[in-house]
Amino acid sequence: MSAPAGTEPGAFPRIDSHQHFTREYLPSLLFPILRRNRFDGSVAVASLPSVEETRWLLSLAAEHSFIRAVVGWADLADPRLGDTLDEFQRHPKFRGVCYRFAGELPQGLGELERRGLTLDVTAGFSLEMVERFPSLPLAIDHLTAGQGTGASSPAHYATVFAKISGLITAAPTRWKAAEFQPAVRAALEAFGPRRVMYGSDWPSYLPEGTWKEALAAFTQAIGPQSMETREHLLGGTARRFYRLEAGDAA
């Protein structure tokens, strides 16, 4: 399955930076949705704390060129973490690890930093992560779900990015853009468009919600923006953070 060819000449490539796959919701369902909406590809993120699921996602990415990168799961507290990462890094589309944090930070964060991998923080972000591992590229997933900006904002750190994803997941049929606007616009102001990226969180809200509604919630929440800003939010930031080059779609 090839990458969507829906972008017009001169249009910027678009990337959905956060979506999942399940045995029910497979790439064959997402691909035509991306194509209809002129998105060039996506970043598949593990939804389960499972090495097996990550292996499966990597196999899907090898089969489908529109899956531009995979963010998998690994046990960052496992002494054998290096072996797991060695296996994952044999796949050219593996980019990093997603993780839910609780309690003390696992030493495996240093291994991610050493290897130049990325970290998606699903829950439990703390500034200690940035202070102890200053070279680790880090994305706070679902930022508006309670991991926002404040007096000790993570936006002060250049290695921290904001992923605006999952806006309609909790209420796929009852969402109102006005409810998201304050948090979304605060994140955009704090981080700037070069460190904010859009993710659909597909298929978490199915069957009640749709991928297109998730995009509509985001675009309505950010309001009118320049083409340059939209380029960053809808693709440019994800391409930089996950190092997505044209060759990755081959």
Q: What is the helix (H) or strand (E) element at residue 197, kind and residue range?
A: strand 196-199
What secondary structure letter does DSSP report for 171? Answer: -
Residues 194, 11 contacting (CB under 8 angstroms): no
CA–CA separation, 185 and 165 (whole Å)? 14
The per-residue pLDDT for 153 is 83
CA–CA separation, 109 and 194 (whole Å)? 24
- Give whole-number Cα distances, 39 to 29, 89, 199, in Å: 14, 26, 12
Token couple for 114? 């050493």
Say whether pLDDT at 249 is over 50.
no
Mean pLDDT of 182-206: 94
Mean pLDDT of 30-53: 97
**CA geometry: angle 225, 229, 234, nearest 5 deg:** 105
Weakest-pLDDT range from 97-111, 128-142, 179-193, 225-239: 179-193
What secondary structure letter does DSSP report for 142? Answer: T
Q: Parallel, antiparallel, or unpaired: how do β-strands 138-140 and 118-123 relate?
A: parallel
pTM of the model: 0.91
Say whether pLDDT at 1 is over 80.
no
Weakest-pLDDT range from 12-26, 146-160, 179-193: 146-160
CA–CA separation, 88 and 16 (whole Å)? 22
The per-residue pLDDT for 142 is 86
Residue 9 pLDDT class (50, 70, 90 cuts):
very low
Residues 197, 162 contacting (CB under 8 angstroms): yes
Percent of the chain exceeding pLDDT 70 equals 90
Q: Parallel, antiparallel, or unpaired: how do β-strands 94-100 and 118-123 relate?
A: parallel
Length of the chain counted residue by residue? 250
